[in-house]
Amino acid sequence: MGRLFGTDGVRGVAGRDLTAELAMDLSVAAAHVLRDAGRSRPLAVVGRDPRASGEFLEAAVVAGLASSGMDVLRLGVLPTPAVAYLTPALGADLGVMLSASHNPAPDNGIKFLTRGGFKLPDAVENEIEDRLGEPWERPVGSAVGRVREAYGEANRYVAHLLTSLPHRLDGLRVVVDCAHGAAHMVAPEALRRAGAQVDTIGTAPDGLNINDGVGSTHLDPLKKAVVATSADLGIAYDGDADRCLAVTGDGEEIDGDQIMAILALEMRAQGRLQRDTVVATVMSNLGFKLALREAGVTVVETAVGDRYVLEKMQESGYNFGGEQSGHVIMLDHATTGDGLLTSLHLLAAVVSSGRSLAELAAVMTKLPQVLVNVRDVSKDKAAHPELLAAVALAEEELGDTGRVLIRPSGTEPMIRVMVEAQSHDHAESVAARLADTVRQVCD
């Protein structure tokens, strides 16, 4: 059996890959690894998104934790960043979130969080896997964990979000798409309490419609709603609301790079951007990097994945970073990407500037970016000399106004070819040429 943990917890088709038995066993192992050995009544908090499978998986996780001697607070349906915040806020030894993020409804996942509310490092995940199914002394009587509902703790999370804001959002009209997901109640509530006039879509989860044609991966309904209501802008979350994208009043998409550029410059102007540096991944648009460089902000790059962004931030003392996909980490207020937090601060920047979202986003010019996924090739040959030579020629051709990225997929027999250039045609031509080289030398 391969490694269970992927880039964001254990994920698969619920009931087939991710079974109740596996969920229980993982929870027992996690309890043994993460609980405070010196604490007589260790505590865990458990949240989930609205997927139908979350109901039986939550029952299995809670059973595993309580049978290992941990008290459990069931938080109900809440975003991933809410569980991350509430884990340390409630003094828990560990947090558990059941979600498959932007994946379709049949999928689900289990994500464990440390007592500080951070995602687990690889070494801890490996230890949990190693301890699956080990013999253990089962507590009995008063030593077994007790289970309580704590649905009201959602208010604590909303209050935390509102406390982070520099001012109210009065005067803004916004359409919010919650993807029929975990933020369907708390996001509209937080925005309204902050002073915005809020219209909503994607706020009627039935357990099977999460991310189904709505949310941050399907922006067309939001674009239409923003234009139809004459709203100032729109915000779209994914299924567990750890990321967000935006739409201007004219229905134009604003991606994670543009959101980061706006917030980074706002934080720098207020003297809150540590070391005048933003941490981003290698997939961020070159236009983002050029714009921040011109403004005197350094961009530090990491591998793709918000966990790598966070690791670099913690390691080097930075407080802001994120991904083009909309995962934005504001470490002064959160331990993980938080779509609600990001959207509130983006709206605050619109209000304080007196400018539209489109005007703020114009701080950077996105270079045309073409991504080609070359499937059924050997990922081990991504560093083939002939391919590296072709990349070098392409980079010479593009000069300072473009770039090339060749990246093996982390989960499939596929190599991704990404090219940026001043024109889409040029980027497409170079990408096609490199994709052909990949097929020839990496078969």
Q: Which residues are catalytic?
A: 101
Strands 147-149 and 233-237: unpaired
Strands 107-113 and 94-98: antiparallel
Residues in the chain: 443
- Give which of 179, 173, 174, 172 is closest to 221, Cα–Cα: 179
Phi-psi region of 293 (alpha: psi -120 to 50; beta: other; left: phi over 0): alpha
- Give which of 357, 53, 65, 83 is closest to 205, Cα–Cα: 53
Q: What's the rounded Cα separation, in Å, for the pair 176 and 178?
A: 6
- Give which of 191, 215, 188 is closest to 347, Cα–Cα: 191
Task: Name residues whose C-beta falls within 8 Å of residue 345's C-beta, 6 or more positions apart in sequence.
Answer: 164, 165, 263, 266, 330
Task: Name residues whose C-beta falls within 8 Å of residue 132's C-beta, 6 or more positions apart in sequence.
Answer: 25, 26, 29
Q: What is the DSSP string of 224-277?
A: HHHHHHT-SEEEEE-TT-S-EEEEETTS-EE-HHHHHHHHHHHHHHTT-SGGGE
Task: Name residues whose C-beta falls within 8 Å of residue 246's C-beta, 6 or more positions apart in sequence.
Answer: 233, 234, 235, 236, 253, 254, 258, 259, 343, 346, 357
Amino acid identity of residue 393, one-letter, is L
Q: Which residues pair with 7 in a beta bridge?
A: 9
CA end-to-end distance (rounded Å), the chain: 26
Q: How far from 45 is each of 80, 83, 84, 157, CA to CA, in Å?
A: 12, 7, 10, 14
